[in-house]
Structure 1
Amino acid sequence: MASATREKFIMTKNPFTRVLTWLVVLIAFLIVMGTLAFDFALMLTFPHLARNFNPLNPVLALGPTVVILTVVLALTFSWLNKKITYLTKGIDQVAAGNFAAHLDEQKGGPLSASYQNFNQMTDQLAKTATLRDDFINQFSHEFRTPIASIQGLTDLMQERELPKKERQAYLALISKEAHRLTNLSTNVLTLTTLESQTILNNQTSFDLTEQVRQAVILLWPQLEEHKLNVNLTLAPATAFGNADLLNQVWVNLINNAIKFTPDGGHLTIKIERHDDQIAVSVNNDGPLISPTDQDHLFEKFYQADNRSNVGRLGLGLAIASRIIALHQGRITVVSNPADHTTFTVYLPSKGSAK
């Protein structure tokens, strides 16, 4: 019988239950041995008590206490084991890919904080999975459009004899869509790299004013093509950061302003110093952006509503937002009839950045 009981203990499927069982036995054993040791110590200290001492008396007297304590401990450990088993099952569900798994925090007892942390973790995992799926769907959509255009145009050129002028026009469209694909793939790789970064590399002090001026010069042919009136108010400013990444931000913001400003419109680019930060703003008098869209402009592939007339925005603003965040700055947008549309980047000045 003793052998069968021992075998049952050893073969318990749940390791935690087996450990708790042996722990209860060990505690009971230590209580009995401690009591005997205490009584023998009393005998050695007070020899006259030894004449009436019966070694079994302490054990018999302590027996009910040991039994009660053992039962209480066993019930407590069993109750705690159920809580841990419940948590373990939840973890197993997450490991199997079920991010909707939730634990009832009211049943947690001493593990309620762990249950709460578990629920917060699964909520975050579910959000991440949703964002990942949305990104894949949006990414696929963005790639399908230019690929379909290229495929359709090449099929048309193969099936028909086209006049030279029309053929050149189709080739120009194919080239444009190919460049769009190249830019999209480059932007995806750039954003993926930026999102995995927490620390900036290659940070230096540089002339921010000159950098913004060079970005304007780079885009000057487009500004002239659309006959835009450009007003530059560039205060002297020195920035500390990754110059190449920040240059992408200015080019992107100015390019977007050109894209959404009607021919003959106005573009105002400013650099201002405010205490411990530098503000770089790009203002245009193109279509206004609705308040709803303003809250989502910096999301990947955001599709603006019809009121804003800006369509799908791709990755440019998402990349700009991430670059500014890595520089401990922020980017805002204000769009109203009085001020038109203004994107403003706030960066720590050189002294505060360090």
Structure 2
Amino acid sequence: MRSNGKFSDQRVKRGLFPLSTFVLFFLLFALLTTLQMVMIGQAIDYKSLPARNVLAVLVFWVAAAVCSTLLTGLAIRRHYQKPIEEFSEAARRVAAGDFSVYLPPKHPMDKTTHLDVLFMDFNKMVEELGSIETLKTDFFSNVSHEIKTPLAVIQNNAELLQKKQLTEAQRQECTETILQATRRLSSLITNMLKLNKLEKQVIQPLPQVYDVCNQLCNCALQFENIWEKKQIDFEAEIEDRALLCADEGLLELVWTNLLSNALKFTPEGGRVTLAQTSDDREITVTVADTGCGMDEATLQKIFDKFYQGDTSHATEGNGLGLALVRRILELSDGTITVTSTPGSGSSFTVKIPRSLPQEEQQV
């Protein structure tokens, strides 16, 4: 495509079919015709042809080369150059931040070409980029909310502490509220830094043999006040002892995040279950609740590091916990799966290979 004697894209300096293409076709026809004449030379004495016939042959070669160049160029421009120009324009729009770009395939699904596959892959890439951009925007909005809320609490209670007429009990209450807000801020920043380091593999797991059952019990007891306050029926089905060779500190983050989510999204009077089993090859831990549950769309995104299923901010969270869990399990060669039904609760199942040294395997 040209405009005012130039290509529509000023970066393009030469077309797909320059003069060299015409010359190539001309030489090709000359070679083929000459070979044909040599092959049938006994029937036609081409050496005695009049000059006008030789000129006619040359004109034929030129005409054939021109026609071949034009027809081939037309086909190339129609089937390749124009789609490539569309692709280039779409890529520029995406680079400028427009993620609504869509390139329709040029052929039906039963007749797709490599170009159609390229367009489909491009559309998928743009969809993913748009999704990531949306999640990033939501993430910064969520983080701003999570930071502003405890900061406002700290500021309000600090101003209250400046008042001289406060009783000692009121001062203690203000102090405790400030401490809770600072812990929330600290947890947010810690999770962000840990996830960033884990993704960049700055933190590497340091496996050691330890009793995962004891760890699960200790993690659960950290939330005893929460389940008692919400009158949640907490059930634990854990073996007496199960050895695991993994990074104890990182896996503690996995269990605390899963338990925290289960208790957070389970209403008063609900039930949370922590179950653990093991065999010679792996440890299986399941955290199940009777909370609000999740629909299919939420299930597909809950492990994305910027995603929050609860956009109302009715519950505390910043969309980093499950992303942190998944990354830790990836580094530990573990897996996590989830099943959920809206209104009926969710169940997260973690499987981790035991990876015990030879001398520990009989224990």
Q: Taking structure 1 as the reference length, what is the TM-score of the superposition?
A: 0.73
Select 2:190's aligned residue among 186, 189, 196: 186
Per-residue CA deviation, residues 35-88 of structure 1 (Å, 9 max, x unaligned), is 576479679999975344754353234344233212212312332322211111
CA–CA distance in 1 between the matches of 2:342 and 2:10? 67
For residue 145 of structure 1, report the CA deviation from its aligned partner. Answer: 0.8
Closer, same or farther in 2 for the Cα pair 1:82/1:159, shift >3 Å?
same
The 1:24/1:177 distance shift into structure 2, 3 A limit, reads: same
Q: Work out the CA distance in 2 between the residues paired with 1:336 and 1:126.
A: 27
* Secondary structure of 2:18 counterpart: helix
Task: Give the aligned partner of residue 338 of structure 2.
Answer: 332
Distance 1:267 1:13, change over 3 A: closer
* Aligned equivalent of 2:238, options 222, 225, 233: 233
Matched position secondary structure for 1:98: coil
The equivalent residue for 1:4 is: none
Does the 8 A contact of 2:213 with 2:242 survive in 1?
A: no
Give 5+ residue unaligned stretches, structure 1.
1-7
Q: Which residue in 2 is equivalent to 1:93? A: 93
More helix, by proportion: 1
Which of 119, 123, 129 does residue 125 from structure 1 map onto? 129
Check conservation: 1:87, 1:103, Cα contact below 8 A.
Answer: yes
Q: Aligned partner of 1:246: which letter?
A: L
Q: Which segment drifts farther, 174-183 or 210-219?
A: 210-219
Unpaired segments of 5 or more residues in structure 2? 357-363
Q: Which of 83, 108, 112 matches 2:116?
A: 112
Asked if 1 retains the 8 angstrom alpha-carbon contact of 2:219 and 2:252, the reply is no
Aligned-partner SS, 2:209: strand
Give the paired residue count.
Answer: 334
* 1:151-190 mapped onto 2 (5 Å cutoff): 151-190=155-194
Aligned to 1:251: 256
d(CA) in 1 for partners of 2:337 and 2:243? 18
Contact 2:266 2:291 in 1 (8 A): no
Q: Which residue of 1 aligns with 2:209?
A: 206
Report the Cα distance in structure 2 between the residues aligned to 1:38 and 1:182, rounded to whole angstroms: 84
1:27 aligned residue: 24
Residue-by-residue CA offset, 1:176-223 (whole Å, 9 max, x unaligned): 1111101111112223344556x983353523xx13414534664764
Distance 1:222 1:200, change over 3 A: closer
State percent identity of aligned pairs.
24
Say which SS state the counterpart of residue 70 (structure 1) adopts: helix
User: How far, CA to CA, are the matches of 1:81 and 1:96 in structure 2?
Assistant: 23
SS at match of 1:290: coil
Structure-1 separation of matches of 2:146 and 2:152? 10
